[in-house]
Chain A
């Protein structure tokens, strides 16, 4: 049997960072090929190469589809051949009907007038095909996420589909919807459509996949034919995470003191879907001089947890107790949280962390203007001195502190954000993905800063999706999944496999409909 799709020796790099290295990947007609790997392993990049989001010429290697070498210039080229990608974030227009969404870009029409009868007839056909019992007139906004996902698939099927790429299709679905979707995939398999399934849920993968490819650091590290050998989850997990410690971390000797922050029974609900409990009555604590990591997959609730602590800047109906240095406090606003000695360094520095059009100086002093403004009037000399001081200390590379932060590199922008929060003199710092999107050298500098902060007796919480980073810098690692802590390891005892296993075990137990099972926290491996 010849492969429908073959990607040979695909490599792709971004500004010096190698995202894919010599990846070989092939899919046969009527095959479900699962692609698994950690966040940042290169799965999405590979799919973007395939679908033409990264056009021919911007990567190395060859793509052979249905026997011919293909040079996709954009996503239209790949769609024309029937390669359809369904993204994790749904791309439907909420206030339009199912039918309008399905035929958004290519409505059947006569002389430019949309043929409504034809639209409805074909929409009904497609909905039947994906097993969705809804009227074509129903608005997208009235559908649940699971049904929306099925509309996306119907939309894909309205075009000529040879190969379907699904990027974590079940991430936001409940068990029944997930099962329905997977069954649909198996129907497509019978029809000879090739599918690529990107998923973190190994139980799902085991259920439907014919072949599994594991990516790690942009390389293919394992390839499993599910019909030839039994699926061993342990083997997959090991392949996903087991890597030589390529990164280096600064040495540190932890001097851990009294507890500084304690959170008890913390519960947060979703601001838009108030019936959804996002953080499920968790306990958490950090001590002076301690670096605590929070591990977990995307969507585990880590950012939501941190932001809800930080003056209730995320979520609704928040309850629980916070004690800072033993005293119980209520942080009802961000200003109150800052005053109490909490700082939160956001994962999204461009949208939430910086005012990109303002200069370095203004960004650094923004959260603590009172320190440079006696009587509410800014002492510009004092401000400049403070800003320059942080610039030197943190080695922010900029022409001067009057340079726009938007012009700085990611690493230097991150140092500006860190400076802003250091200036507030916090007792506890929560760093959310502090090294996302910055180069290796700057990462090392950030790790050094984290060490200094801990040595100065502050409590540091690091949220990161890069497990080696957590293992390299943390004294303790808490594992969060689905809004609850499902494991906790001492820095020295933790391994990536243990962390991954805690997550996967919880994913599966949730999948089996026993969500309470792993919510007690402190689960040992």
Chain B
């Protein structure tokens, strides 16, 4: 092999660059447009600190599950059981902590392991027996909905220990002196995050430049970084002026960062996409497609369990109805976020944005006093519309 240096690809025109990126950022722009729309329509209520904090708390479990669902969808499968699994795990958590008085840390870990076991049980049939995931998880949906009822004997169970409730209703502790209504620790974390993000993208850009790789135009990069930093700062400012950063937001952000990294940068992430893109070609390239599919379901089970715990902690009771219909919001979030129903395509960022679109719409429409009936109609149409636009874009 001759050791040539990488040739510089031809400079692309700015116009085409922006056009390409518009497609990537299309959903993000839709989210911003939807937020602005509701901000105006609700007379500024949407972005009030209290409402924004609630928005985060209300949607955290959807976002958490969307991360796992994205991987499942990327491999070309679906998991309809996540709502029931979340409900069931919440019920088991209540029995452990409330009835049996098990230590909350131990119970928490046991519940995550239970989620993994459930995911493994379903993934086994899908991956190794090639039973369509739609059917396996449809069965799982019924099974775990029933088991949740059985475990709770049809009753609600609560309250949870105070420390466990902190998972959902707690905020990060204040270590800096109070400054009026603003929580300085939260603000500081937000500022550091904004700086970190800008630094990371600047470093990545210069590294690519060093190796002679085509990078985005400087103006574009600068604009993007300023916008990103401002958005993060403004968002933290709003949150910090209520009660600070919710614990669950910290967990969520960490998970988003982790899954973003795994999908984009790791071997296993790359292989998941390859399996979804063309399972036969992936298998003939030495990828253990069955094992990967199996583990995406295990992962989904763990995240569904975590979501179930977060939801139970938020309500402070486990009810037999918990988790009802969650799977629909989670799946919708992934598809709105640009995942392909045929597998192989989909981004973590997209799924998160998709979940936020659903969340903002739920919240905004509730504030506007739109009945639950028409809320569903509108959400359904938005899902169809988003996927239609995506398919149209792909075809061009």
Residues of A within 8 A of B (CB): 310-311, 313, 333-335, 337-339, 344, 346, 351-358, 362, 366-367, 369-370, 373, 376-378, 380-381, 384-385, 388-389, 392-393, 399-400, 420
Contacts and interface: CB of A to CB of B under 8 A. Distances in A.
Nearest to A421: B285
Nearest to A346: B284
8 contacts: A334-B285, A338-B285, A344-B284, A357-B344, A378-B267, A393-B1, A393-B2, A420-B285
Given A384-B213, A385-B6, A389-B1, 12 more contacts: A333-B286, A352-B281, A353-B281, A353-B284, A354-B281, A357-B344, A358-B344, A378-B270, A381-B208, A381-B211, A389-B4, A400-B10
Given A334-B285, A346-B284, A357-B344, A377 B277 contact: no
Given A352-B281, A366-B285, A381 B7 contact: no
Contacts of A339: 286
Contacts of A313: 283-284
Contacts of B277: 355-358
A275 B284 CA distance: 25
B189 to A, nearest CB: 26
Contacts of B287: 335, 366
B273 interface: yes
Contacts of B344: 355, 357-358
A380 B28 CA distance: 25
B181 to A, nearest CB: 42
B281 A351 contact: yes
B268 A400 contact: no
A183 B176 CA distance: 97
Interface in B197-245: 207-208, 211, 213-214
B281 A376 contact: no
B4 A392 contact: yes
Interface string B275-315: 00110111111111000000000000000000000000000
A-B CB proximity, top 7 nearest: A355-B277, A335-B286, A400-B9, A367-B285, A338-B286, A388-B6, A355-B278
B267 A352 contact: no
A400 B281 CA distance: 22
Contacts of B285: 334, 338, 366-367, 420
Contacts of B284: 310, 313, 334, 344, 346, 352-353
A334 B279 CA distance: 13
Contacts of A310: 284
B213 A381 contact: yes
Nearest to B283: A334
Contacts of A346: 284
B257 to A, nearest CB: 14
Contact of A334 (B214, B278, B286): B286
B207 A369 contact: no
Contacts of B345: 357
A355 B274 contact: yes
Contacts of A369: 267, 270-271
Contact of B282 (A338, A366, A384): A366
Interface in B1-45: 1-2, 4, 6-7, 9-10
Contact of A373 (B9, B266, B281, B282): B266
Nearest to B268: A376
B396 interface: no
B339 to A, nearest CB: 13
A419 to B, nearest CB: 11
A355 B281 contact: yes
B276 to A, nearest CB: 9
A172 B364 CA distance: 65
Nearest to B280: A352
Given A355-B344, A373-B267, A388 B7 contact: yes
Nearest to A337: B286
Contacts of B282: 355, 366
A315 B208 CA distance: 46
B274 A358 contact: yes
A330 to B, nearest CB: 16
Contacts of A400: 9-10, 214
B278 to A, nearest CB: 4
Contacts of A380: 265
A378 B266 contact: yes
A335 B282 CA distance: 11
Contacts of A352: 278, 280-281, 284
A353 B213 CA distance: 28
Nearest to A313: B284
A339 B288 CA distance: 14
B274 A366 contact: yes
Contacts of A373: 266-267
B369 to A, nearest CB: 44
A392 B280 contact: no
A512 B223 CA distance: 79
Contacts of A311: 286
Nearest to B271: A369
A387 to B, nearest CB: 9
Contacts of A376: 266-268
A384 B283 CA distance: 23
Nearest to A348: B280
Given A335-B288, A355-B277, A392 B7 contact: yes
Contacts of A388: 6-7
A143 B286 CA distance: 37
A244 B284 CA distance: 38
B28 to A, nearest CB: 21
Contacts of A335: 286-288
Contacts of A357: 277, 344-345
A373 B282 CA distance: 18
Contacts of B283: 313, 334
A366 B213 CA distance: 21
Contact of B270 (A362, A384, A393): A362
A313 B282 CA distance: 12
Contacts of B2: 393
A342 B286 CA distance: 11
A327 B211 CA distance: 42
A351 B273 CA distance: 16
A376 B9 CA distance: 28
Nearest to B273: A358
A373 B285 CA distance: 16
A239 B9 CA distance: 50
